[in-house]
Amino acid sequence: MRLIRRRREVEAEIAGEAAAAAAVTAPPADPDLEAAAFFDVDNTMMRGASIYHFARGLATRGMFTTSDLFKFAVGQAVFRLRGNENPEHIAVARETALAFVAGAKVDDVVRLGEEIYDEVMADRIWGGTRALAQSHLDAGQRVWLVTATPVELARVIAQRLGLTGALGTVAETRDGIYTGRLVGDLLHGPAKAEAVRALARREGLDLTRCTAYSDSANDLPMLSLVGNAMAINPDTELREHARKVGWPIKDFRTGRKATLTALPIAAGVGAVAGGVAAGIALRRHYRPHL
């Protein structure tokens, strides 16, 4: 177990460094270069899981069946409930993440991500969270998304929202095609903190002046890394922790909307693990053109 734990720590460090290297940066007009904000995506910036919405967009294009989509959603729910600290579940999640991108063209994934964001995701952005991000931009601070979603899709979301860039799971590519291997591990849990730490070194950020936002206790390593943290639409564990340590809490969910949001949600590794259905669809659709 000690060797497994150390290997996971090393993979998280590699994933963090890769995510930081892949981040797109754009300086604000009146910059405060030492402070920045980091936002989780799924159920923090967006209702539900970004990769689930991406898969739905692929389904509407006939790339896989409704049954595949159902299995996709169930797999995410099972992981969220039982898999976060189970090494076997994490290993399966990593393998399915490889299946998500193997054989697909990077340009195809980006183009589909742009189309599907505009069609499906744009209306699912939490207005309150978007306003928080804008407040950092208005203060001259840079704003990054930090998510287990593949970095190409994360970048699309960041660009559409006018943010600085995104830290996401990085997949290895060769000649513009995904090899089916990850660079490091999934950007989940401790790997998110490693990515933020690596980006801070590269960009000269003072982490004590930075702020992080998330809905999930899985992101406690990232939230605890910065000087300011806020729980957005928090799960039970994060809500309790936030109250204990005095972090502000914002909940933009109300009544039935909150219940519906919980159905497709997939935090961290679960989001990428569920992407196997979309990956199979992409490989089947594009392999004849490679």
Q: Which residues are marked as active site?
A: 40, 42
| Contact between residue 143 and residue 166 where contact means Cβ atoms under 8 Å apart | no
| Contact between residue 229 and residue 215 where contact means Cβ atoms under 8 Å apart | no
What is the Cα–Cα distance from 162 to 285, expressed in whole angstroms?
A: 31
What is the Cα–Cα distance from 8 to 166, expressed in whole angstroms?
A: 22
At residue 209, what are phi and psi to the nearest 5 degrees?
Answer: -100, 5
Q: Which tokens belong to 175?
A: 């000649």
Number of H helices, E strands in the chain: 13, 8
212 - beta bridge partners? 38, 229
β 171-174/177-182 pair status = antiparallel
